[in-house]
Structures are given as structure tokens and as C-alpha cells.
């Protein structure tokens, strides 16, 4: 990809607050027009990273390019970047119209043009009739729209969203997720969206960077992150996951065998993933919905173990099972589509199948 | 039936509690009201009444009722127009205005500085601001006399920089008066202003920067609206007493300038002209009330119209 198609390029960004390392060697690139999410638990450095891009904070080390230009020397108020703040940060002494027009006023855009641009953007986010009100007089969802309008009216190269939906109730959140995504597609602006809600990130983003303790653990599409997590942290942060550890016993042609507490497990091992050595410790991940359970012992496949059902949680569309195989507890999620497993109860004996193509080898040591 | 009875009981209770409330509010606000009536309202009424009376030959207050006192204050005395009293009035207002302005300019950076200190240091900073109050105003003012008189190190420093010609002092004079006034009134500006600086939502400043505002624009649009209430309160707290102040102008101005304060004091003291003194007091009070009313009206005019 040529240089002009990157909206943001970060190289080795570092930021320390006293003894706390908020960001450690963070490097990534974001394409123009991409909906990019920074996902992680609170305190993982995602908001710090957003502030570095906005210019509200400066890195201790590393380089940052916005639209191909080195951002190091560009002060915050001159960056082609606008932010939707978590607290909205609307100016309480200005009405909604004046709030939205603020950025244009600072840039000295003529008042006639300002008026028409503000009108247009208020129509886009559906707040046409709030113009004369003050921020204290509107609801949380409306404030969110105003904050969004105030940022995008400036037509930034990159829009930064700091947990913009965090303060809203679930229903409104879902609705605004849809709207935000639609808006991004329509405007073609690069969105960088900070969230700790994994589902929100999966639903909305083109690509997601999962962050932990100041580092990017994995940067991929949502599907890749979910299906091929590289680390234990990613596997457990996105959805739930069965983690099984063991020692390598044999490496064959595209397949490896691991001795675990369950017994010997085989899994598909391709040469482009982590190199294995006999006797080395490995960790495998398996999504609950990829673990099969049946009452009868299946024939003709490997990785079959016998266990006892400990807990059955009926969840409407699906049922969650907890199954003890020896000392190991496995989680399985099965769709309630009329299959035989629906007759399993707590205390029943059952067989579980850990399909070798579903086992994911993690990079953790 | 049960519900009806319960309703009646509730009503009774309600009446009872209403009477209780009235009794309680009378008991609690009564002393305050009496105090205000005896020590504020009645004396004030007396001042207004006296201001329309005539001074007798030996300084006694008597009839007939007259507007002469007010006419005199406006400069129309028995010898024709004399701008002495209007000049005193304007000079006092100017002193109050100057003091309030300088205090404001000095307090703004000071408050932001204290607000940015670590938590424990902030209290220490505020205590340092208030500590001079423990020394009597007269003593502080005499101290300034010594510091600013010819030959003092401040004057010598000023001579070196060529700000004053050798041998002359900074005291007595307008400069000395302003120094004394600002030192006396600065805490009245700092305390309310600091209270609003401490509450500033810095997120709004970041939002303004993010939207392209430069340093002065951030201050003007995101910070100033937030500290305006404190600034307004501080200005009133400084301007009003500063306008009536006469000890400092007397001591540091060389007792050559008459201020509203000493004019009033003279009338009630050596001058023995209570009606004229009452008239001056009443006019000063009206000016103050007009100022407060203007501020109140401006604030009620909507948040958008603050600036």
C-alpha cells in the first residue's frame, strides 16, 4: 500500500506517567476510511493512545504520522483530527448551534458557510430542532449526537471517539452503534473508536487492536481475533474460551500431539505459526461453541474424552454446559436446534470432541 | 370507609405539620429579622430622613425639610458651582475601579498557580494569602510608608532603573495608594476567584483545543465563562469597600486627597453636618445598589449573555 493511503502511522510510541508505563512500544497503521477500534480493559492505555493522536498529550518516544505528515511538531489545535469526548465536554454556556459551530468559528469560516454547514450536520445526526437549547436541557443520547456533530462538522481527516456510547443505556447504545457505523460509511472519515465493550468493537469495526498493559496484543479483523487469537489475553477478553496447556509429545506432518491433563490431544499445526519443540509447553484455545458434546461415543474421530456434565444453563437460543473431564472443566455452548444434546442433564455422562482444526495454538510461553 | 378515615387523619396531620412549620420558621428566622430591622433597616431609615433635614447653627439637626444637601453634593453650593464634591465622588469611584482592576489582573494568574499546586500546597498557598489579615491595617499601611519613602531600598532600586528621579520617593503618591489598596484587598478577589478556578472543568479546555482554539481563544471561550461568577463576586467584594476606603489614601497619599470615606467621616465628626453626611452616605448606597442590580439583571439575562 502506498504512503498516501495511511491515515495514521505510529512507530514505537511510548508514554510514562511517573513510574506507570501507559504505552510501551506501540506501533500500528490505520487505513484511510477505516473504522478502527482500540479495545481493552480500563487502564490498558487506549485512551492515552487516543490523546497522543489528538495532540492533547505528547509521547515520550516514538513517531506519529497523520495523513503522511509527521505530527510531532503539530500542536493539538492545528491537527486535522477531532474528538468526541467520553463526557461529551459540551460548552454549557453556548447553545447547541453555537457548540456545533465552535470549530468553524475558531477557524474563521465565514458565517454564511458556517450556518449552512451546521444546518446540514444537524440534519445528518437528526437534531434539527435542538439548536436553541443549552446542553443542560437535553438528554444523554442527544448530547452524544451534538458532540458527534460538533466534531464532524469540521470535516476532520480522523475522528477520535473516546467510549462515546459508554454512558448510554443498552437500547440507545445499539441504535447509535448502527447510526455511527452508517455515518462512517457515508462520510468516509477514518474513525478511531475506543471501547472496552468487545461486542461493540466486533459489531462496528473493520479492524480492532486489542490492548493490554500498554501494549497492542493483537491487531486484526474481528473475525480473525475471535477465530485465531494469538494470546491467552485476547482469547479470554473476546468472548469466553477453553484454555488447555500441555507438553509437546510429537510433531508430525501438519499435525502435532500434546500431552495434557485430558490426555493426548492432536491439533493442526502449520509451519507459519509458532515453531514447536518436543517437550516444550504450549497453550491451546478452543471456543465453547466449537466443542461438541454427545451422549454416544462418536466413532472415527480423535480427541474424544469422556466426562460428567456439571451444570446446564438454558439461554433460549443456546444452552451452556459445564463438563468435567478429570480435573479439567470445559465450557460448551450448543445451539438449541433440536439436536440430541438437549436431553443431557446435570450428572449425565457425556463425550466431548475437541476437533483438531478448532484448536488454536497460542503464542504465550 | 377505612380509606376515608385515614384521609382525614392524614389531613389533620397535614394541617398540624403546616402549623408546626410556620412556628418553626418564625422561631428560626425571627431573631435574624429582628436584628436586620433594629440594626439595619431603622438606622438606614434614619439616615435617609436626616439627609433631608437642615443643619442648625451649632450642628444640630432640625427642620425645615430640604433638598439642599443633595444640591450641595452635586456641586451647587451657596457660592455657585464648585466641582469639589463631584470630584471626590469620581475620585473615589476611580480608586475603587482601579483597585478592583489591578486585583483582578493580579489574582488571575495567582489563582491558576495555586490551583495547579499539589493538594497539600494549595491550602498552604491560600493561608499565605490570608495571613496578612492578622496584622492590623494601620500597621501594614505604615509599613508601606517606610518601604516606599525616599531612601528606602525600593526607591533606590527604582532610581537605578530610572523610573524616578533621585531623592524623590514613591510615597506619598498615587502609586503608594494603589500598592496599599491592592495589598489590602487582594484576598477578597483571590478567595472567590480561587473557588471557581478550582471547579474548572478542564475537559472543556481540551475540547476547545481539539476544535482548533489557540491559547487565548481557549481562555476566552472555555475558561473565562467558567470563572466569571467568581470574578464577578471578587470584583464586587473589592470595588465596594475600596470605593469607601479612606485610611489608606490618607496615610499613603499624604493626607492631601479627600475620599468619599473621609468626606462622610468629616461631616459626622469635625464638620458636625449630619444632614450632609447622611446625603453623601445615601447617594453612595444608591450607587452600590445600582451596581448590584445591574449585575443581577445581567446574570438573569441568560447564560448566553454572560459576556
Residues A186 and A250 in one domain: no
Q: Which three cell numbers stand for residue B283?
A: 447617594
SS3 A356: coil
Task: Indicate the range of A304-308, A309-313, B54-58, B236-240 predicted with least confidence.
Answer: B54-58
Q: Are residues A45 and A153 in the same domain?
A: yes
- Taking CB atoms and an 8 Å cutoff, what residues of chain A touch B213? 77, 102, 106
**Could you give phi then psi for residue A88, rounded to 5 degrees?**
70, -40
Res. B304: pLDDT tops 60: no
* pLDDT above 80: residue B98: yes
Q: From chain A, pick out residues whose CB is under 8 angstroms from the CB of B209.
A: 55-56, 76-77
Mean pLDDT of A117-138: 90
Give the distance between the most distant pair of CA atoms in chain B: 100
CB-based contact A85 B211, cutoff 8 Å? no
Final residue of a domain: which of A198, A231, A264?
Answer: A231
Residue B170 has pLDDT above 90, yes or no: no
What's the CATH number where A331 sits?
Answer: 2.40.50.100
Domain around A277: 240-361
Residues of chain A contacting B227 with CB distance shorter than 8 Å: none
Q: Let me know: does A173 contact A149? Beta carbons within 8 Å.
A: no
A89 neighbourhood in chain B, CB within 8 Å: 201, 203-204, 206-207
Chain A residues within 8 Å of chain B (Cβ atoms) = 54-56, 76-78, 81-83, 85, 87, 89-95, 98, 102-103, 106-107, 134, 150-151, 154
Which 3-state string (H, E, C) describes B229-280? HHHHHHHHHHHHHHHHCCHHHHHHCCCCCCCHHHHHHHHHCCCCCHHHHHHH
Cell numbers given for A284: 491451546
Q: What pLDDT was estimated at residue B130?
A: 87
> Residue B2: what pLDDT?
46
Q: Which residue of B209, B221, B304 is in closest CB contact with A77?
A: B209
Q: Rounded to an integer, what distance in angstroms lies between the CA atom of residue B31 and that of residue B248? A: 36
A164 and A311 fall within a common domain: no
Range with lowest mean pLDDT among A20-29, A319-328, B146-155? B146-155
On whether both A78 and A26 belong to a single domain, the answer is yes
Give per-residue pLDDT as tens, A199-249: 889 988 999 999 998 999 999 999 999 988 999 999 988 888 999 988 888
Question: What is the ipTM score, two decimals?
Answer: 0.81
Share of chain A above pLDDT 70, in %: 96
Q: Regarding predicted confidence, which is higher, A86 or B81?
A: A86
The sign of the torsion formed by the CA atoms of A140, A145, A147, A150 equals: negative
Residue A114 contacts by C-beta under 8 Å, 6 or more apart in sequence? A101, A104, A105
Q: Does position B3 have pLDDT exceeding 50, yes or no? A: no
Contacts of A359 (CB under 8 A, 6+ apart): A244, A265, A267, A268, A284, A285, A286, A303
Identify whether residues A77 and A118 lie together within a single domain.
yes
| A341 pLDDT higher than 70 | no
pLDDT digits (tens, 9 = 90+) for A267-282: 887 766 667 778 888 8
Q: Inspect the interface and report whether the beta carbons of B303 and A85 lie closer than 8 Å.
A: no
Residues A137 and A54 in one domain: yes
- A48 with A189, same domain? yes
Region of residue B172 (phi > 0: left; psi between -120 and 50: alpha; otherwise: beta): beta
pLDDT of residue B263: 84
- Which pLDDT score, from 0 to 100, does residue A39 have? 92
Q: How many CB pairs under 8 A join A and B?
A: 67
Residue B21: the pLDDT is 80
Q: Rounded mean pLDDT of A355-360? A: 86
Report the pLDDT value the prediction gives residue B306, as an integer from 0 to 100. 37
Does one domain contain both A162 and A244?
no
Chain B residue closest in CA terms to A103: B211
Q: Do the chains contact at B207 and A91, CB–CB below 8 Å?
A: yes
- How many structural domains is chain A composed of? 2
Q: pLDDT tens for residues B175-220?
A: 888 888 998 899 999 999 999 999 999 999 999 999 988 889 999 9
Contacts of A325 (CB under 8 A, 6+ apart): A262, A305, A306, A307, A352
Cβ partners under 8 Å of residue B194, min gap 6:
B111, B114, B115, B126, B230
Among A171, A166, A204, which residue's Cα sits nearest to residue A34?
A204
Instruction: Look at A89 and B306 and tell me if their CB atoms are within 8 Å.
Output: no
Q: 10 Å Cβ neighbour count for A258? A: 26
Residue B28 pLDDT level (bands cut at 50, 70, 90) = confident
* Pair (A303, A262) in one structural domain: yes
* Mean pLDDT along residues B130-157: 83
pLDDT at A114: 93
Considering the domain architecture, whether residues A267 and A349 belong to the same structural domain is answered as yes
Q: What is the DSSP letter of A250?
A: E
| Portion of chain B with pLDDT greater than 70, in percent | 88
Using an 8 Å CB-CB cutoff, list chain B residues near A81: 210
Beta strands in A45-131 (DSSP E): 61-66, 69-70, 81-84
Residue-level pLDDT at B255: 67
| A161 and A259, same domain (yes or no) | no
Residues A204-214 have pLDDT tens digits of 899 999 999 89
Domain boundary among A231, A258, A275: A231
How do residues A166-197 score in pLDDT, each as one tens digit? 777 888 888 888 888 888 888 889 999 999 88
Question: Quick one: three-class SS letters along B53-89?
Answer: CEECCCCCEECCCCCHHHHHHCCEECCEECCHHHHHH
The pLDDT value recorded for residue A138 is 92
Q: Is the pLDDT of residue A289 over 60?
A: yes
Best of B207, B214, B304 to substitute, by most chain A Cβ atoms within 10 angstroms, is B207
Inter-chain residue contact A89 with B211, CB threshold 8 Å: no
A169 & A145 share domain: yes
Residue pair A31/A6 in contact (Cβ under 8 Å)? The answer is: yes
At CB < 8 Å, which residues of chain B contact A?
Answer: 201, 203-204, 206-214, 217, 221-222, 225, 303-304, 306
CATH code of the domain in which A152 resides? 3.40.50.300
Q: What does the pLDDT read at residue B305? A: 36
pLDDT attached to residue B303:
42
Domain boundary among A202, A231, A260: A231
A89·B203 Cβ contact <8 A: yes
Amino acid at each position: 500500500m502506498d504512503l498516501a493511503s495511511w491515515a495514521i502511522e505510529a512507530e514505537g510510541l511510548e508514554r510514562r506517567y511517573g513510574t506507570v508505563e501507559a504505552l510501551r512500544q506501540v506501533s500500528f497503521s490505520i487505513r484511510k476510511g477505516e473504522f478502527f477500534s482500540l479495545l481493552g480493559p480500563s487502564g490498558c492505555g487506549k485512551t492515552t493512545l487516543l490523546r497522543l493522536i489528538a495532540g492533547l498529550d505528547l509521547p515520550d518516544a516514538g513517531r506519529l504520522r497523520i495523513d503522511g505528515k509527521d505530527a510531532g511538531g503539530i500542536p493539538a489545535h492545528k491537527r486535522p483530527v477531532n474528538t468526541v469526548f467520553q463526557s461529551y465536554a459540551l460548552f454549557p454556556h453556548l447553545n447547541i448551534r453555537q457548540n456545533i459551530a465552535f470549530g468553524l468559528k475558531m477557524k474563521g469560516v465565514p458565517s454564511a458557510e458556517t450556518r449552512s454547514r451546521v444546518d446540514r450536520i444537524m440534519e445528518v445526526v437528526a437534531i434539527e430542532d435542538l439548536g436553541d437549547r443549552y446542553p443542560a436541557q437535553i438528554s444523554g443520547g442527544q448530547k452524544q449526537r451534538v458532540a458527534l456533530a460538533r466534531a464532524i462538522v469540521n470535516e476532520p481527516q480522523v475522528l477520535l471517539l473516546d467510549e462515546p456510547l459508554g454512558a448510554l443505556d443498552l437500547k440507545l447504545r445499539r441504535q447509535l452503534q448502527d447510526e455511527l457505523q452508517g455515518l462512517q460509511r457515508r462520510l468516509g472519515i477514518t474513525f478511531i473508536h475506543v471501547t472496552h465493550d468487545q461486542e461493540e468493537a466486533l459489531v462496528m469495526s473493520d479492524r480492532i487492536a486489542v490492548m493490554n498493559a500498554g501494549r497492542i496484543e493483537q491487531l486484526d479483523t474481528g473475525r480473525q481475533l475471535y477465530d485465531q487469537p494469538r494470546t491467552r489475553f485476547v482469547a479470554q477478553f473476546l468472548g469466553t474460551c477453553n484454555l488447555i496447556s500441555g507438553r509437546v509429545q510429537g510433531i508430525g506432518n501438519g499435525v502435532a500431539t500434546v500431552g495434557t491433563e485430558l490426555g493426548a490431544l492432536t491439533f493442526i499445526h502449520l509451519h507459519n505459526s509458532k515453531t514447536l519443540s518436543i517437550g516444550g509447553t504450549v497453550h491451546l484455545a478452543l471456543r465453547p461453541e466449537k466443542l461438541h458434546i454427545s451422549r454416544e461415543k462418536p466413532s472415527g474421530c480423535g480427541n474424544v474424552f469422556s466426562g460428567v456434565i456439571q451444570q446446564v444453563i438454558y439461554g433460549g437460543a443456546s444452552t451452556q454446559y459445564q463438563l468435567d473431564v478429570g480435573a479439567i472443566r470445559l465450557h460448551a455452548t450448543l445451539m438449541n436446534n433440536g439436536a440430541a444434546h438437549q436431553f443431557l442433564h446435570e450428572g449425565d455422562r457425556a463425550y466431548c470432541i475437541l476437533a483438531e482444526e478448532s484448536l488454536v495454538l497460542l503464542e504465550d510461553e | 370507609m377505612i380509606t376515608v378515615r385515614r384521609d382525614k387523619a392524614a389531613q389533620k396531620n397535614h394541617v398540624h405539620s403546616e402549623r408546626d412549620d410556620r412556628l418553626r420558621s418564625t422561631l428560626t428566622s425571627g431573631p435574624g429579622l429582628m436584628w436586620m430591622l433594629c440594626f439595619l433597616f431603622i438606622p438606614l431609615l434614619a439616615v435617609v430622613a436626616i439627609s433631608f433635614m437642615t443643619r442648625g447653627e451649632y450642628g444640630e439637626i432640625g427642620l425645615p425639610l430640604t433638598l439642599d444637601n443633595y444640591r450641595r453634593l452635586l456641586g451647587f453650593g451657596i457660592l455657585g458651582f464648585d466641582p469639589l464634591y463631584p470630584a471626590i465622588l469620581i475620585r473615589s469611584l476611580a480608586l475603587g475601579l482601579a483597585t478592583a482592576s489591578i486585583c483582578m489582573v493580579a489574582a488571575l494568574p495567582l489563582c491558576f498557580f495555586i490551583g495547579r499546586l499539589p493538594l497539600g500546597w494549595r491550602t498552604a498557598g491560600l493561608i499565605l494569602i490570608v495571613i496578612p489579615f492578622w496584622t492590623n491595617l494601620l500597621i501594614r499601611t505604615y509599613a508601606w510608608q517606610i518601604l516606599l519613602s525616599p531612601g528606602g531600598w525600593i526607591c533606590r532600586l527604582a532610581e537605578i532603573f530610572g523610573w524616578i528621579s533621585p531623592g524623590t520617593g514613591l510615597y506619598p503618591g498615587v502609586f503608594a495608594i494603589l500598592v496599599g489598596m491592592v495589598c489590602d484587598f487582594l484576598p477578597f478577589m483571590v478567595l472567590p476567584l480561587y473557588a471557581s478556578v478550582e471547579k474548572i472543568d478542564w475537559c472543556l479546555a481540551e475540547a476547545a483545543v481539539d476544535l482548533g482554539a489557540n491559547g487565548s481563544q481557549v481562555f476566552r471561550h472555555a475558561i473565562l465563562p467558567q470563572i466569571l461568577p467568581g470574578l464577578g463576586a471578587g470584583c464586587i467584594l473589592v470595588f465596594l469597600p475600596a470605593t469607601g476606603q479612606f485610611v489608606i489614601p490618607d496615610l499613603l497619599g499624604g493626607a492631601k486627597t479627600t475620599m468619599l470615606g473621609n468626606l462622610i467621616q468629616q461631616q459626622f465628626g469635625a464638620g458636625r453636618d449630619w444632614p450632609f453626611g447622611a446625603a453623601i452616605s445615601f447617594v453612595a448606597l444608591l450607587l452600590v445598589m445600582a451596581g448590584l442590580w445591574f449585575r443581577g439583571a445581567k446574570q438573569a439575562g441568560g447564560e448566553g449573555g454572560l459576556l
